Structure 1
Amino acid sequence: MPEIAPIGVRIGKYLDVPTAAKGPPVDPKKGYRLQDLGDGLYMVTDNIYQSMLLAYDKGVVVIDTPPTFSSHLPEAIKEISSQPVTHVVYSHAHKDHIGGTHSLGGTPIIIAQEETAWRLKRDNDPDRPIPTVAFKDKYTLTVGGKVLDLSYHGVGHLPGNIFISAPKQKVLMVVDTVFPGWMPWRRFAVAQDVLGSMSQVEEIANMDWKTFVGGHVERTGTHEDVDTQVAFYHDLKDAAGQALASTRPGEGVDAADMKNPWAVFDNYVDRVVVQCVNTLAPKWQTRLAAFDVYIWDQCFSMEQTLRIE
């Protein structure tokens, strides 16, 4: 098993990114890549963040505006349409996905779930304009014969994070929930509800779509990618549960520290996490890109979820 650095410890080199996790390269002169998803729908990405564009006869709908490449969005839009941006859809409230909206110019209609609208009103961030349309459970946007179905499936990554479906193109976009070919970002992508996020990944696996857009990484996803993440999450939950059941607090702690409950408990949690990491590494270290970068975070998060939630 290769060296896997605990949080805060750096090693000489991380594991190589598997070829299967990589996507087509981005032209450095452009700073973005367009991928045709069919019938006027495109993914635009810098191979770190992803958004979507839907072109129709009178305009363009933009789904998310990541600041990492938002300055390139007007250029990308010109590649697919000469029409103005008429609508913006927010996947959720996080600034790293919608903080570039002003780069689009104009006054498009902004659509989001109610929780997202509430958070943006609270935060009063000029980089994240407040939605003009807020929905509770479902909203269908129909423009020029093109359809986007927006739906809210409860708390997972963040309250207000929605599913965005293009039914004709058989494309599903759910941001910060599935990471095709990759280990999810640290601590289940900082999910506010870990078990809720896991349930949503399983829900995505059972839905009818052909292409998945997750908001991150180098490529779009397949059902096989989603099934792989479901399997990893099941193994992670099992490994953390077994470690919790077989680890006793206080074992190996210096007798002089036994009256320090913080030290005793920190030692206990660390040993649970070490066992979790060691259980998962042989099977998963070569299957998920950046396994070694965030596996400690995932085991810490699952340990806490199972123990106190």
Structure 2
Amino acid sequence: MLKLHRLAYSTLAIGLLAACSSTSSAIPEAPSTVGASYVQASSTKALQPGEKVANLFQLNMKTPYVLQRLTDRTYWYESGFYATIFYVGDQGVLLFDPLEQRAEPILESIRSVTDKPITAIVYSHDHADHLAATGPLLEMLKTTQSQAPEIIASQATAEKMQLLDSHLPRPTKVIPWPDGKFKFENLDVELHGFEHAAHTDDHAAWLLVNERVLHAPDLLNADQPPFWNFAGSERFTFLVDNLNTANALDWDYFNGGHGNVGSHADFAFHLKFISDLKAAVGKAMGEVPFGYGVDPDKINAHTVMLPTWYDEIAKRATDALRPTYGDYYGFETATPANAEMMAEYLYSYR
């Protein structure tokens, strides 16, 4: 069911991109959660640490893709609200996560800055919305380069793909879990697998050491409050620990697979938001008695009681956070689901 949700979200994003007109929106973009300094997207001028791409929502809605240079060799790509990175070496290109339905624009963006072959692809984790363009991309590359890219993944991802009989192209190089590393030309890449992961069991952060770039899709959406179910996490339980682990690494630029280019300030914002949400949900749980909103004379199964209880708790917690966070990107649509997830966590672990 979770992967179906992701597929629907990805398809919706592409549909929105195709359907939007070229006229400018009358609604201003949401304010920055971290007081960011915004600059116009540029594939030639490197982003300074802490800067973010301006007008990103409208760019996602109305342009084929956004390409932003991060360093001399690393580039950030986003289209339809999905983002990834690639690194241009001396001989070839290292691409992370060929995003679903985006093989052609990703290749176009790479070709806009280099004609070097794509010699390696990295899978960050086994969720199809971040990997499903691999097959189409490999087919496209057959006409332009003599050798197929190496496909690199962690041991946890490779084993999960095997267990679930994944239809996606399998890794040709497997990195030891949880703290393996590999070298791409002169670039050191470190795997930092989460010992107990929130998003999915093979979730990890990939550090481009020399470039000071961290790639961890679905860990957080930079410059936004947490997305629905904390970026589609399969569980909330270990998220704070995962955020702290990634934040403690040595980097300047962060790609979370969605949202803007991230910084350590985005991690601080998310940790504060989660702390405030936990307090609001805990307070609501103390105020709302179990069975609230259910007429016992009108039911013949108890199963309605828990979701009704969570729903009321989420409404109250969302109301409590609205004065502080209500103007931020997606607050109204994402926070109730996050509050329900938090309520389940607090109810289960005491």
Give TM class, smaller chain: 0.7 to 0.9
Cα 1:161–1:251 shift into 2, 3 Å:
closer
Once the two structures are TM-superposed, the CA of residue 260 in structure 1 deviates from its matched residue by 4.4
Kindly indicate whether the alpha-carbon contact (under 8 Å) linking 1:157 and 1:190 is maintained by their aligned counterparts in 2.
yes
From 163, 173, 182, the equivalent of 1:141 is 182
From 223, 235, 259, the equivalent of 2:264 is 223
User: How many residues are paired up?
Assistant: 292
1:107 aligned onto 2:148: yes
Q: For 1:28-60, what per-residue CA distance to the aligned partner results, in whole angstroms no more than 9, with x for missing partners?
A: 997222211213111111161111111111111
How much identity, in percent, do the aligned residues show?
24
Q: Which residue of 1 aligns with 2:200?
A: 158
Q: TM-score, normalised by structure 2?
A: 0.76
Q: Quick one: distance in 1 between partners of 2:304 and 2:85?
A: 48
Kindly indicate whether the alpha-carbon contact (under 8 Å) linking 2:60 and 2:80 is maintained by their aligned counterparts in 1.
no
Q: Quick one: distance in 1 between partners of 2:53 and 2:320?
A: 29
Cα 1:267–1:107 shift into 2, 3 Å:
same
Q: Quick one: distance in 2 between partners of 1:196 and 1:261?
A: 30
Once the two structures are TM-superposed, the CA of residue 214 in structure 1 deviates from its matched residue by 0.7
Q: Which residue of 1 aligns with 2:69?
A: 36
Q: Quick one: distance in 2 between partners of 1:110 and 1:194?
A: 30
Q: Look up the SS of the partner of 2:100 in the other structure.
A: coil
Once the two structures are TM-superposed, the CA of residue 300 in structure 1 deviates from its matched residue by 0.9
Q: Quick one: distance in 2 between partners of 1:255 and 1:74?
A: 59
Q: For 1:240-287, what per-residue CA distance to the aligned partner results, in whole angstroms no more than 9, with x for missing partners?
A: 12222232123564352487423443433232222212211111112x
Gaps of 5+ in 1: 1-14
**Alignment RMSD, CA only?**
2.4
Q: Quick one: distance in 1 between partners of 2:155 and 2:120?
A: 17
Once the two structures are TM-superposed, the CA of residue 202 in structure 1 deviates from its matched residue by 2.4
Q: Quick one: distance in 2 between partners of 1:40 and 1:93?
A: 26
Q: Which residue of 1 aligns with 2:223?
A: 181
1:208 aligned onto 2:241: no
Cα 1:294–1:17 shift into 2, 3 Å:
farther
Q: For 1:146-165, what per-residue CA distance to the aligned partner results, in whole angstroms no more than 9, with x for missing partners?
A: 22222212312111111111
From 304, 313, 334, the equivalent of 1:294 is 334
User: In structure 1, what residue type is equivalent to 2:32?
Assistant: A
Structure 1 window deviating more from structure 2 (150-159 vs 102-111): it is 102-111
User: In structure 2, what residue type is equivalent to 1:207?
Assistant: L
Kindly indicate whether the alpha-carbon contact (under 8 Å) linking 2:205 and 2:246 is maintained by their aligned counterparts in 1.
no
Q: Quick one: distance in 2 between partners of 1:47 and 1:266?
A: 32
Q: Which residue of 2 aligns with 1:306?
A: 346
User: In structure 2, what residue type is equivalent to 1:20?
Assistant: S
Kindly indicate whether the alpha-carbon contact (under 8 Å) linking 1:23 and 1:47 is maintained by their aligned counterparts in 2.
no
Once the two structures are TM-superposed, the CA of residue 94 in structure 1 deviates from its matched residue by 0.6
1:269 aligned onto 2:302: no
Gaps of 5+ in 2: 1-26, 34-51, 142-146
Cα 1:246–1:29 shift into 2, 3 Å:
closer
User: In structure 2, what residue type is equivalent to 1:305?
Assistant: Y
User: In structure 1, what residue type is equivalent to 2:184?
Assistant: V
Cα 1:16–1:271 shift into 2, 3 Å:
farther
